[in-house]
A and B are shown apart, each in its own frame.
Chain A
Amino acid sequence: MKIVGRLYFIHIFAWLAIWLATYYPGLDVVLAFAYLLIIFLQIRSLGDESGGRAAAVFLAWQAPGIVFSVLSLLPWSFWGLKEYAFFLLMFWYTPVVPLLSLLQWVIAGYPLYYFLLLAMPLIYGLLFIIFVFTHRKQPAFSSSRIRCPP
């Protein structure tokens, strides 16, 4: 699970660097793209892992985002956490906030970024699947391999 530690390390320092980069408008957008590139390169290395193991890496890495998103959507609050859940969700996804700030549409009274942040664990999941499966060097499950006749 070394890869989970690496993903957390990159994500947390990207959080800090990209938040600080918003002080220099424009640089934040460049760094957000750099973050996605680095995440892509990291996740690509999971191409040889089994589907279950890759899913475990994703869930461990994105657990905070999943928890904050679910807490934001729940109709009730645990220990007053719902009050701050969307704040925490936004902080967790700070590395992509500069990209969200480029989208300025409003749907049903809410800005588009609101819906995208709530859906961000799913969007990350989709990207994760694409990144992993486009770099598979061998099929994930042995049962799916085509066996040659003896």
Chain B
Amino acid sequence: MKRIDWQLWLFPLLTLVLLVSICFQNQAALSNKESLTYTYLRQAVQGRLGYGAVGNYGNMISFHDLEPGDILLGGYPGCAYGRFSHASIYVGEGQVIEGYVDLGITQQPVEHFWTYSEICLLKVKADPAQKQAAVDYARSHLGELFYPVAFRPGERIWNCTKIIWEAYGQQGINLESNGDIWIAPDDFYDSPWVQVIREKSVL
């Protein structure tokens, strides 16, 4: 009888086991036709995979009344996973903490949000101490790894939305109520925990 080549077949077998396990644990989320997973798949079938047509759309929204802990959402036309492609948490003094593939979790000036064609500023309905604790949590993860399709569990691998979701999750506030396996910027927009400060669409 021929021996199984375990070096060749270990990862295909693990892929199958992990896929079944994740699907089994998330049956409700994965059967929801409005979930992010379905949105990704629908858009992929239509040939859309990325974050849309990057450009400088000059929305010139005002940031004057932002407070630490507020959330900014930005989007480009043709984004594959919703109206918004990016999220940041405002940390005060004209700075936001956000995630990029090359910079990891990083602190940047807020003004770059003027480049988006879709922009929205959100206030989280939480007390200032909770919001400051969320900011401190995000700040404690500066420099950590960004992976575009990061799953919800874990505090080592992030994307721009997961770091904000976890920062508020640590304060007992769940900004994503669908129970999906990943978080999208649009989830924050739809969350009952936030109110829109202002939003703008320039196209």
Q: Is the CB of B19 within 8 A of A20?
A: yes
Interface size bucket, B side? Answer: 20 to 34
Interface status of B110 (Cβ within 8 A of chain A): no
Residues from chain A with a CB closer than 8 A to the CB of B181 are 23
Q: Is the CB of B18 within 8 A of A20?
A: yes
Interface set, chain A 1-18, CB cutoff 8 A to B = 6, 9-10, 13-14, 16-17
A22 to B11, CA, bound (A): 14
Interface set, chain B 118-168, CB cutoff 8 A to A = 142-145, 147-151, 153-157
Closest chain A residue to B158, Cβ basis = A101
Q: Is the CB of A23 within 8 A of B153?
A: yes
16 additional A-B residue pairs with CB within 8 Å, beyond A13-B12, A106-B142: A13-B14, A17-B14, A20-B14, A20-B18, A21-B14, A22-B154, A23-B22, A23-B153, A24-B18, A83-B54, A87-B148, A97-B147, A102-B156, A106-B104, A111-B143, A112-B143
A residues within 8 Å of B by Cβ?
6, 9-10, 13-14, 16-17, 19-25, 28, 31, 34-35, 38, 41-42, 83-84, 86-87, 90-91, 97-98, 100-102, 104-106, 109-114
B residues within 8 Å of A by Cβ?
7-8, 10-12, 14-15, 18-19, 22, 50, 54, 101-104, 106, 142-145, 147-151, 153-157, 181
Can you list 26 A-B contacts (CB < 8 A)?
Answer: A10-B7, A13-B15, A20-B15, A20-B18, A20-B22, A22-B147, A22-B151, A23-B18, A23-B22, A23-B153, A25-B156, A31-B14, A38-B11, A41-B7, A86-B101, A87-B148, A104-B144, A104-B145, A106-B143, A109-B106, A111-B103, A111-B144, A111-B145, A112-B143, A113-B104, A114-B102
